A and B are shown apart, each in its own frame.
Chain A
């Protein structure tokens, strides 16, 4: 019964029908299976899917994670490829993340102002926005955009390498493809996301400064004094720490979906798509766990 090919594929190959949908491998579509556009819904969210397949997939993912850690600390270390990935993953996402972060800071400030005026605490606007951005909105929004851009591109890249035998070709060329492709990408996104979050936070506070100054005036110094004066150790560190986990989740899921991509070009699209969906859900789950932990540690 148990075959040697990755169980993820076995899950994917099951096809069955419900009333209006054709569900193939957790991909719900109201089109025939052969049609192109699949909307990926994780196994555990599809109606009447058994818990068994969810647990199966989780098991495979856990084994993949274990393999990551066991390969991560063993030579040979792919330093050059790791740095190249840091550049691709970090630097190239910066414009997109900068733009969205700036707009987010601006809009958030403008949206908050009326409520604060109602309560007569308009002067607290920079402090409120600063805390909201640094603690929650910055890390989560940046991570979600990161998942959309990097998670999907890793999923698609590894997926297409898999189906065109490039991964096999690396293996016969004296390269451990898991180390060369997976370990470097997971590490690079783990390291780069916190950096992007910090930059994103800063950029979005500039956006917020602009928002404050659209109505009323606050000097640049006063704005930053208010923001930084109201931030504490307990605001910054947990947010910083959790963005490592966000980055790890995005890199790992992207690689996992790509590496176990099913044969065929269609599988590549699915890998990219599912990488984004799963890592976005994981980001919120990690966020939920993180807030519990900071609560228990009394960092609030």
Chain B
């Protein structure tokens, strides 16, 4: 079973137009700690891949490599046709406008209000927007996560779940083509978590974006994933739909669904 899954991975789809992210033979280590070892994956248009893996297996490192925050030791990462490790700062910025990134720790700017947090990517990227356009975008983003009333609050005044939702709003504000979520539902109650997942799916349908979702939340896997990727021992250990993986006989894969 697993063999067939792996085989499909090793022979990537021929239609290159469909490919949004292609990671090939990625290696990354921190000192003697080898985190990613010959990791490869493909993300297609309008596809959601959920990445599963133990804590410390390198999931966050993987998506940080994809957005160019972490430089890999070797390997190629093609995002929208460009090889990320070779890009200059300016070229990276151009690509990053089209990528939304939700940080595991939310990374809201403590010294700025919610409004300023949401305006930050709008103002900093080299896109020209009028003040009223900025205001509508901010309001719409807050409406999406249901937190309009927090607009003038500081992040420190918000609860953990609210902070996650503001961070999500900031991630989605530029209507990105690619969204990388690092544990979007961790620390949320089941009801809010479900709302967030539904929001993610709605956004994805609306803007026809592709996303990589790191999550431990089986609900999230069930609802949002087109495919599930298992990151084990620094490799793409298994890739397939949730049902396929659930039926797998491989003990390492099985463990995740117990």
Contacts and interface: CB of A to CB of B under 8 A. Distances in A.
Please indicate which of the listed interface residues A4, A160, A176 has the most CB atoms of chain B within 10 Å of its own CB: A4
Contact of A176 (B31, B89, B111): B89
Given A3-B30, A4-B71, A157-B111, A172 B96 contact: yes
B114 interface: no
A174 B121 contact: yes
A56 interface: no
A166 interface: yes
Contacts of A170: 109, 120, 124
A3 B31 contact: yes
B29 to A, nearest CB: 9
Contacts of B126: 174
B109 A166 contact: yes
A179 B97 CA distance: 19
B87 interface: no
B110 A173 contact: no
B99 interface: yes
Given A5-B30, A176-B89, A160 B124 contact: no
A191 to B, nearest CB: 21
Interface residues of B, number: 26
A172 B69 contact: yes
A173 B31 contact: no
B102 to A, nearest CB: 10
Contacts of A173: 96, 120-121, 124-125
Interface string A4-35: 11000000000000000000000000000000
Nearest to A2: B31
Contacts of B64: 168
A232 interface: no
Contact of A160 (B67, B93, B110, B120): B110
B64 to A, nearest CB: 8
Interface residues of A, number: 18
Interface string A52-89: 00000000000000000000000000000000000000
Interface in B66-96: 67, 69, 71, 89, 93, 96
Contacts of B31: 3, 5
A160 B99 CA distance: 25
A3 B93 CA distance: 26
Contacts of B101: 169, 172
Interface string A150-190: 00000001001100111011111111100000000000000
A169 B125 contact: no
A156 B220 CA distance: 36
B105 to A, nearest CB: 5
A175 B124 contact: yes
B107 interface: yes
A168 B107 contact: yes
Contacts of A174: 93, 96-97, 121, 124-126
B39 interface: no
A174 B110 CA distance: 19
Contacts of A168: 64, 69, 103, 107
Nearest to A168: B69
A248 B109 CA distance: 26
Given A3-B30, A4-B71, A164-B105, A172 B99 contact: yes
Nearest to A157: B111
A150 to B, nearest CB: 15
15 contacts: A3-B30, A4-B30, A157-B111, A161-B109, A165-B104, A165-B105, A166-B107, A168-B64, A168-B69, A170-B124, A172-B101, A173-B120, A173-B121, A174-B97, A175-B124
